[in-house]
Amino acid sequence: MDNRNIKTIAIIGAGTIGSSWAALFLAYGYHVVVSDPAPDVEANTRTLIDSAWQTLRELGKVQDESFLDNLRFEADLHKALENVDFVQENAPEREDFKISLFAKMDALLPEHVIISSSSSGLLVSRMQSQCRYPQRCVLGHPFNPPHVIPLVEVVGGEQTSEDTIERTLQFYRAVGKHPIRLNKEIAGHIANRLQAAVWREVMHLVNENVASVQDIDAAMSKGPGLRWAIFGPQMVFDLAGGRAGLAHLIDHLQPAIETWMDDLGNPRMTPELRERMVQGTQQAREDKSFESLLRYRDSHLIDILKSLDKK
């Protein structure tokens, strides 16, 4: 099936992720139908899309302002899936619910229509387990917010076809995403596992009273986080090795680095640690509102992305 035949996309499950996906697809000229049984879904989704649209406009991704008119809402799943060419699922992160939902969608859709899940950690092999056509089920996990962050993780389940994976990769590239392919399924995928590894050490440092929550965050945002916006950890270490690269760094610093690795913590979120982390984060917010922090984040993300596009 040629991806050029994709004209209409179903967003199953709105919320922040689904609305963000919807805005992105609309900006690229696709017709989008949103289906979610929640009350007031249309008003809430339109508000989120309007906000995302401003960001997409600043990023130069809105191809035509009139594309916003290509949005419609349909609560009934059967009607929502009529004549769609691609499905982006964003339902609650419960395995039993996803298995049931995938089976329902699979029964309603032609065999060639890809069902891609935004799941943060569930396995496609489980979600596709009750489908007639499991070969068309795939993971397309974005990073929040999908209309801004380029990353999307793509992996198939045990029964997913190679054609589905390749078509999914091509489709996401066509809407300005940077898809990466996982060679096999793993809980939490890649990016969330990396985040979890860092956060585990944040928990340990807070638990050991090494520094305040604010200063621990600053250690990342004012240090390695700046480099990681440009290169991943491997390339950062390769440059740290000088002209001889990663091999030189490993030969000279790996013994020291391994002692740090051996000393990393493995904490658990006790009630006491939870309270310290929550209070520390609230203090770091300095009474800034949720909305102002979002604007601050997104405005700087836009600047970073524009800067990286110039390379």
Share of the chain above pLDDT 70, in %: 99
Strands 114-117 and 137-142: parallel
Q: What is the pLDDT of residues 152-165, one digit of tens each?
A: 999 999 999 999 99
Mean pLDDT, range 254-268, rounded to an integer: 94
Mean pLDDT, range 43-68, rounded to an integer: 94
Question: Is the omega angle on the peptide bond into residue 145 within 30 degrees of 0, that is, cis?
Answer: yes
Q: Can you give the pTM of this predicted structure?
A: 0.92
Indicate whether 287 pLDDT > 90: no
What pLDDT, on a 0 to 100 scale, did the predictor assign at position 310? Answer: 74
What pLDDT, on a 0 to 100 scale, did the predictor assign at position 234? Answer: 93
In sequence order, what are the residues at sequence separation of 6 or more whose Cβ sits closer than 8 angstroms to the Cβ of residue 152?
140, 141, 142, 143, 146, 172, 177, 178, 179, 180
Share of the chain above pLDDT 90, in %: 90
Mean pLDDT, range 116-142, rounded to an integer: 97
Average confidence score pLDDT of the chain: 94
For residue 45, what are its two tokens? Answer: 């989704």
At 183, is the secondary structure helix, strand, or coil?
Answer: coil
Q: How confident is the model at residue 69 (pLDDT cuts 50, 70, 90)?
A: very high
Q: What is the pLDDT of residues 6-22, one digit of tens each?
A: 999 999 999 999 999 99
Contact 77, 104 (CB under 8 A): yes
Q: How confident is the model at residue 36 (pLDDT cuts 50, 70, 90)?
A: very high
Contact 131, 87 (CB under 8 A): no
Indicate whether 281 pLDDT > 70: yes
For residue 131, what are its two tokens? Answer: 């489908």
Mean pLDDT, range 25-53, rounded to an integer: 95
Indicate whether 1 pLDDT > 70: no
CA distances from 266 to 24, 168, 187, 205 (A): 38, 37, 18, 10
Q: What is the pLDDT of residues 195-222, one digit of tens each?
A: 999 999 999 999 999 999 999 999 999 9
The DSSP string of 205-263 is HHHTTSS-HHHHHHHHHTTHHHHHTTS-HHHHHHHHTGGGHHHHHHHHHHHHHHHHHHH
